[in-house]
Homo-oligomer: A and B are copies of this chain.
Amino acid sequence: MTGNTFGENFKITTFGESHGKAIGVIVDGVPSNLTLSEEDIQRELDRRKPAQSFITSQRIEDDKVEILSGVFEGKTLGTPICMIVFNRNQRLEDYLDLKNKFRPGHADFTYFAKYGIYDYRGGGRASGRETLARVAAGAIAKKILEQKNIKIIGYTKSVFNIEAKKIDYNEIEKNPVRCPDKNAAKKIIKKIIEVQKLKDSVGGIVEVVVKNCPAGIGEPVFNKLDAMLAYAMLSIPSVKAFEIGTGFKCTTMFGSQQNDEFYYDRKLKRIKTKTNYSGGVLGGISTGEDIIFRIAVRPTSSIGKEQTTVDISGKEYEISIKGRHDPCICPRIIPVAEAMTAIVLVNLLKNA
């Protein structure tokens, strides 16, 4: 079993270390005759890039995507699309101090345990930078979904103990934390600045909503829509949990509360549920209601605060991670979560 391919009908294979020559992805299974340009991809990549505001990493990643194959005269050929971003602006000096020392909360140690070697220059494949390949692939998936009027909306539901009290989709892209509640956004920003000053980081919850997904999507019994989403979400660096619909809250509910009753909507001329506690999925198949799920985003592993660790020989060190890291990764994880959601949906829609 290899690890760098996801999906079967719309299959993405990513490559590249964070400080290697390039990061990229091959997307196989894209329908032919779809209009596609580098701008379509760049737009999504720009939503993920650092230094969008003062509260994200101040690295300048001048990430320009190039399409190397699969597009001819502005249209997809039906052949694999390779997209690539060359790595530039690498401050390798930030990493030399850390050579062979395992950063707490990072994958240095586990990669070394697994492979007997690792690229100590910034996380290699375990770096969040790998996710730009997913966002590029997701941009194509989103274009396919758009044709079916399916929309994916991700936002910061909470950071630390500050929760969005209302969900105004129009607000999301207006504030740097992508919070749909203007007031909560302000408080979150304040909190992040505070944490940043302490050379620390903080976690949060990202919620994703899928609009207009028709009923009938998902492949029981293993490739359930919610199982595939959980799989995709937990594959994103920093994500520690997934819940759909009521999620963990349903463990303190009764069946009579959690069950969504069916009714016939005369206007829409289709069967709907009165409530949506299931989050749009029953038995692993979409119900036609909004798909709603949440993921837990851990506080960024890279912190300036001193931490104790060991190097590959087991010798102890105090380390402090330099560089330009995000104190809270939620805003930048949103486009990644949306991309992986789009990729899951396109894979399952092909079977519908």
Please give the residue numbers on chain A whose beta carbons come within 8 Å of chain B beta carbons, in ascending order. 1-6, 8-9, 11, 13-17, 20-24, 26, 28-29, 32-33, 66-70, 72, 75, 77-82, 84, 102, 104-107, 109-111, 113-119, 124-126, 130, 158-161, 195, 198, 200-205, 215-224, 226-235, 237, 240-248, 250-264, 271, 273, 278-279, 281-288, 296-303, 305, 307-310, 314-316, 347-348, 350-352
Most chain B C-beta atoms within 10 Å of own C-beta, residue among A161, A299, A300: A299
Closest-CB distance, A286 to chain B (whole angstroms): 7
Q: In the bound complex, do residue B14 and residue A80 qualify as a contact, i.e. CB atoms below 8 Å apart?
A: yes
Chain B residues lying within 8 Å of A307, measured Cβ to Cβ, are 256, 259, 261
In the bound complex, CA of A125 to CA of B218 (Å): 13
Number of copies: 4
Known interface pairs A234-B224, A254-B299; A2-B219 also in contact (CB < 8 Å): yes
28 A–B contacts, CB within 8 A, in A order? A3-B220, A5-B28, A5-B222, A17-B69, A24-B82, A26-B26, A79-B124, A102-B262, A104-B259, A105-B259, A107-B283, A109-B215, A110-B284, A113-B215, A125-B220, A202-B254, A202-B255, A203-B250, A227-B235, A240-B244, A240-B247, A243-B296, A250-B298, A251-B298, A254-B299, A259-B301, A264-B316, A271-B310
Q: In the bound complex, do residue A241 and residue B252 qualify as a contact, i.e. CB atoms below 8 Å apart?
A: no
Chain B residues lying within 8 Å of A256, measured Cβ to Cβ, are 200-201, 303, 305, 307
Residue of B nearest to A31 (CB): B115
Most chain B C-beta atoms within 10 Å of own C-beta, residue among A72, A79, A279: A79
Starting from the known contacts A240-B279, A259-B301, 18 additional A-B residue pairs (CB-CB under 8 Å) come to A1-B9, A3-B219, A4-B26, A13-B28, A15-B80, A15-B81, A16-B68, A22-B69, A32-B114, A33-B116, A109-B262, A113-B215, A114-B218, A126-B284, A221-B235, A227-B232, A255-B305, A271-B310
Chain B residues lying within 8 Å of A195, measured Cβ to Cβ, are 254
Residue from B102, B229, B285 within 8 A of A111 (CB atoms): B285
